Amino acid sequence: MAMTTDVPERIPFWRNVKTLGLLAQIIFAIIVVAAIAILWNNVTSALARSSLPADFSWLGSRAGIPIGERPIPYTPDDTYFRALAIGFLNTLKIALVGVVLASILGVGVGVARLSNNFLLRQIATWYVEILRNTPLAVQIIFWFTAAIATLPPTISAPIRLPGGLMFSNRGLAFPAIYPGFGFRDWLPWIVAAIALYAIVLYVRRRQIIASERPGLAWPAALLAFLAVSGTGYFVASGTATIPEPLTVDFTVERGRGVTFLDANGNGERERDEALYGFVPVTVRVSEAAIETQSTNLNEQRRIKPSVLRFPVLEEGEYESFDVRILGSADAERFSVHWTDAPTAGLIFEDRNGDGIYQEGEEVDADGVGFSGVRTLLTITGFSRDLVSDRDGGIRIPNFEPVGTQEEETEEIQDAGRSGVAGFGPSSLFGSPAGASSDEEEAVLDTTVEIRSSGALVWSRPSVPVSNYEGGFRFTASYLALLLALVIYTATFIAEITRAGIMAVPKGQTEASKALGLSGRQTFSLVIFPQAVRIILPPMISQYLNLTKNSSLAPLAAYAEIFAVSAIVANQTGASVPVTVLIIVSYLVISWFFSFVLNIVNARLAIVER
Amino acid sequence: MQMIPDRLPPAGERGAIAWLRRNLFSGTVNAIVSIALGSFVALSLFNLGRWMLTGASWQPVWNNMKLLAIYRYPAELAWRPIIAVGVLLMLTGLTAALGQRVGKGKIMTGVYFWFGSLAWFLTLVALIAWPSVRVAWLLATLMSVAGYAIGWYVPRVVRAQSWLWAAGLPIVLVLIYGVGGSGSFAVVGTSQWGGFLLTVVIAAFGITVSFPLGIALALGRRSNLPAIKYFSIGFIEVIRGAPLITWLFIASLMVPLLLDVAPDSIPALTRALVAVTLFSAAYMAENVRGGLQSVPNGQREAARALGLSGWQTTRLIVLPQALRAVIPVLVGQAIGLFKDTSLVFIVGLHDFFEIGRRVIPSQPESLLYPGGVLLEISVFMAFAYFFFTYRMSIASRQLEKELGVGER
Amino acid sequence: MRKLLAAFVALMVLAGFAQAQTSLLDEIKLRGNMTCGVNQSLPGFGVIDSEGNFSGFDVDFCKAVAAAVLGDSEAVTYRALTASERFTAVQTGEVDVLIRNTTWTSSRDSEVGLNFAPTTFYDGQGFIVKRASGISEVSDFEGTSICVQSGTTTELNLADVMAALDISYTPLVFETADQVFAAYEADQCESVTTDMSGLVSRSTLLQDPAASVILPITISKEPLGPAVLHGDDTWFDVVKWVTFGLIFAEEYGITSDNVRDVAASAQAPVVRRFLGLDGQVMEQLGLESDAMITMIEQVGNYGEIFARNLGPDTQFGLERGLNALYTDGGLLYSPPFR
A481: left (phi over 0), alpha (psi -120 to 50) or beta: alpha
Chain C: give the shortest CA distance to residue A424, in Å.
Answer: 6
Burial pattern A337-350, b for ≥16 Cβ within 10 A else e, equals beeeebbbbbbbbe
Is C196 in contact with A420 (Cβ distance < 8 A)? yes
The pLDDT tens digits for A291-326 are 888 888 878 777 788 888 888 888 889 999 999 998
Positive or negative: CA dihedral C176, C177, C180, C186: negative
Amino acid identity for residue B380 in this structure? F
pLDDT 10s digits, B142-195: 999 999 999 999 988 888 888 999 999 899 999 999 888 788 888 888 888 999
Is the CB of C170 less than 8 angstroms away from the CB of A68? Answer: yes
Mean pLDDT of A268-272: 85
Residues of C with CB under 8 A from a CB of B: 1, 4, 7-8, 11-12, 40-44, 47-52, 79-82, 85, 88-89, 92-94, 176-178, 182, 185-186, 202, 205, 207, 315
A584 in B contact zone (CB under 8 Å): no
Residue A340 has pLDDT above 80, yes or no: yes
| CATH top-level class of B192-365 | mainly alpha
Strand partners, C35: C77
Does A558 lie in the same domain as A490?
yes
Contacts of C164 in chain A (CB under 8 A): 432
Q: Name the closest residue on chain B to residue C79, using Cα atoms.
A: B191
Query: Do residues A201 and A300 share a domain?
Result: no
How far is Cα C88 from Cα B257, in angstroms, rounded to an integer? 12
Average pLDDT over residues B94-113: 88
Q: What is the pLDDT of residue A176?
A: 93
Residue A50 lies in a domain: no
* C-alpha distance from A427 to closest chain B C-alpha (Å): 28
Cβ contact, residue pair A21, B378, below 8 Å: no
Chain B residues closer than 8 Å to A136 by CB: 339
Would the CB atoms of A66 and C171 count as touching at under 8 Å?
Answer: yes
Q: Mean per-residue pLDDT for B315-320?
A: 89
Residue A503: list chain B partners with CB under 8 A: 408
What pLDDT score was predicted for residue B265?
Answer: 61
Q: Which of A467, A569, A571 sits opposite C143 (nearest CB)?
A: A467
Contacts 24+ apart (CB under 8 A), C239-244: C239/C65, C239/C97, C239/C117, C240/C117, C240/C118, C241/C285, C241/C337, C242/C64, C242/C65, C242/C68, C242/C69, C242/C117, C242/C295, C243/C61, C243/C64, C243/C117, C243/C118, C243/C120, C244/C118, C244/C334, C244/C335, C244/C337
Q: How many CA atoms lie within 13 A of A291 on its CB side?
A: 22
Q: List A residues 338-377 in contact with B (Cβ-Cβ < 8 A).
A: none
Task: Determine the longest span between alpha carbons in chain B, in angstroms.
Answer: 94
DSSP state of A53: -
Task: Indicate if A510 and A583 belong to the same structural domain.
Answer: yes
Question: Contact, A545 vs A489, CB < 8 A?
Answer: yes
Q: Can you spell out the DSSP letters for B30-98?
A: HHHHHHHHHHHHHHHHHHHHHIIIII---HHHHHTHHHHHHTTS-GGGTHHHHHHHHHHHHHHHHHHHH
Q: Is the pLDDT confidence value at A359 over 90?
A: no
Residue A12 lies in a domain: no
pLDDT of residue C38: 92
Mean pLDDT of B225-246: 92
Q: Are both A114 and A84 inside the same structural domain?
A: yes
Residue C142 contacts residue A51 (beta carbons within 8 Å): no
Distance CA B41, CA A397 (A): 43
Residue A99 Ramachandran class (φ > 0 left, ψ -120 to 50 alpha, else beta): alpha
Residues in B closer than 8 angstroms to A118, CB to CB, are 23-24, 34
CA distance A433 to chain B (A): 33
For chain B, give the mean pLDDT. 88
CB contact under 8 A, B225 and A138: no
Residue A443: its pLDDT value, please?
Answer: 80
Reported confidence tier of residue A441, pLDDT bands at 50, 70, 90: low
Gap from C198 CA to chain A (nearest CA, Å)? 11
pLDDT band for position A193 (50/70/90)? Answer: very high
Domain edges within chain B: 192-365
- Of A451, A461, A504, which Cα lies nearest the Cα of A163? A461
Q: Under a CB-based contact definition with an 8 Å cutoff, are residues A399 and A289 in contact?
A: yes
A-chain residues near B311 (CB < 8 A): none
Q: Is A46 on the interface with C (CB under 8 A)?
A: yes
CB burial class (10 A; 0-12, 13-18, 19+) of residue C221?
A: middle
Q: In Å, how far are A372, A559, C204 from A414, measured between CA atoms?
A: 10, 34, 10
- The listed range with the strongest mean pLDDT (A174-178, B258-262, C174-178) is A174-178
Q: Is C104 helix (H, G, I), strand (E, B) or coil?
A: coil
Size of the B and C interface in Cβ pairs below 8 Å? 83
Interchain CB distance below 8 Å, C182 and B64 = no
- Chain B residue numbers touching C177 (CB-CB < 8 A): 362
pLDDT given for residue C274 in this prediction: 92
Per-residue model confidence (pLDDT) at position A481: 96
Residues 254-283 of A with CB under 8 A from C: 254-256
Whether residue A166 is contained in a domain is answered as yes
> According to the model, what pLDDT value does residue B248 have?
92
The residue segments making up the domain with residue A446 are 246-405+441-468
Q: What's the pLDDT at A295?
A: 86
The reply to whether A298 falls in a domain is: yes
The reply to whether A412 falls in a domain is no
Over residues A161-167, mean pLDDT: 88
Residues A155 and A218 in one domain: no
Q: Give yes or no: residues A305 and A224 share one domain.
A: no
Cβ contacts of C82 on chain B, cutoff 8 Å: 348
Q: Measured between alpha carbons, how far is C84 from A8 in angstroms, rounded to an integer?
A: 70
Q: What are the percentages of helix, strand and coil residues in chain C, rounded to 5?
A: 45, 15, 40
A523 pLDDT tier (thresholds 50, 70, 90) = confident
Rounded to an integer, the average pLDDT of A465-486 is 93
CB-count exposure of residue B198 (10 Å: 0-12, 13-18, 19+): buried
- Put simply, the answer to whether B253 touches A141 (Cβ < 8 Å) is no
Does residue A426 form part of some domain? Answer: no
- How many domains does one find in chain A? 3
Give yes or no for A79 touching C (CB within 8 A). Answer: no
Q: What CA–CA distances, in Å, run from A242 to A203, A378, A455? A: 41, 34, 12
Last residue of a domain, one of A239, A259, A283: A239
- Indicate yes or no: CB of C132 within 8 angstroms of CB of A309: yes
The total number of residues written for chain B in this structure: 408
Is the domain of A400 the same as that of A350?
yes
With cut-offs at 50, 70 and 90, classify the pLDDT of residue A459: very high
C312 neighbors C303 (Cβ within 8 angstroms)? no
**pLDDT (0 to 100) of residue A116:** 83
The pLDDT score that the predictor gives to residue A381 is 92
Q: Are residues A522 and A583 in the same domain?
A: yes
Whether chain C has a CB inside 8 Å of the CB on A572: the answer is yes
Look at residue A411 in the predicted model and tell me its pLDDT.
44
The whole-angstrom distance between B183's CA and the closest CA on chain A is: 38
Cβ distance of A419 and C312 shorter than 8 Å: yes
**Chain B residues touching chain C at CB-CB below 8 Å:** 63-64, 66-67, 71-73, 75, 191, 253, 256-257, 262-264, 348, 350, 357-359, 361-365, 367-368, 370-372, 374
Residue of B193, B255, B264, B376 to mutate, interface with C, max C Cβ within 10 Å: B264
- Nearest CA to C51 among B76, B119, B128, B56? B76
| Domains annotated on chain C, with CATH | 2-122+223-328 (3.40.190.10), 125-220 (3.40.190.10)
Closest CA to C299 of C118, C61, C79: C61
Residues A399 and A250 in one domain: yes
Residues A187 and A325 reside in one and the same domain: no
Whether A94 maps to a domain, the answer reads yes
Binned at pLDDT 50, 70 and 90, residue A402 comes out as confident
Contacts of A47 in chain B (CB under 8 A): 257
B361 contacts in C (CB within 8 Å)? Answer: 178, 182
Closest partner residue to C49 (CB to CB) among B73, B256, B363 is B363
**Number of CB pairs < 8 Å for A and B?**
156
Contacts of C144 in chain A (CB under 8 A): 465-467
CA-based nearest residue to A463, from A255, A291, A152? A255
Residues A400 and A258 in one domain: yes
Q: What confidence score (pLDDT) does residue A424 get?
A: 40
* Residue A296 contacts C where some CB pair is shorter than 8 Å: yes
Reply yes or no: is the peptide bond before residue A152 cis, omega within 30 of 0. no
Instruction: Count CB neighbours of B300 within 10 A.
Output: 16
Lowest mean pLDDT among A473-482, B25-34, B94-103: B25-34
CA nearest to C4 within chain A: A573
**Cβ under 8 Å to B: A residues 538-567:** 548-549, 551-552, 555, 562, 566
What ipTM does this complex have?
0.90
Q: How far is B315 from chain C (nearest CA, A)?
A: 45
Tell me which chain C residue has its CA closest to the CA of residue A254: C142
> In 3D, which of C119, C45, C14 has the Cα closest to residue C334?
C119
From the CA of A45, how many Å to the nearest CA of chain B? 8
Chains touching C (at least 3 CB pairs under 8 A) are A, B
Contact A119 B33 (CB under 8 A): yes
Point out the domain boundary residue: A224, A239, A254.
A239
pLDDT < 50 stretches in chain C: 1-20
Tens of pLDDT, residues A405-437: 554 444 444 443 333 433 443 344 333 444 444
> Distance (Å, rounded) from C-alpha A579 to C-alpha A566?
9
A534 within a domain of the structure (yes/no): yes
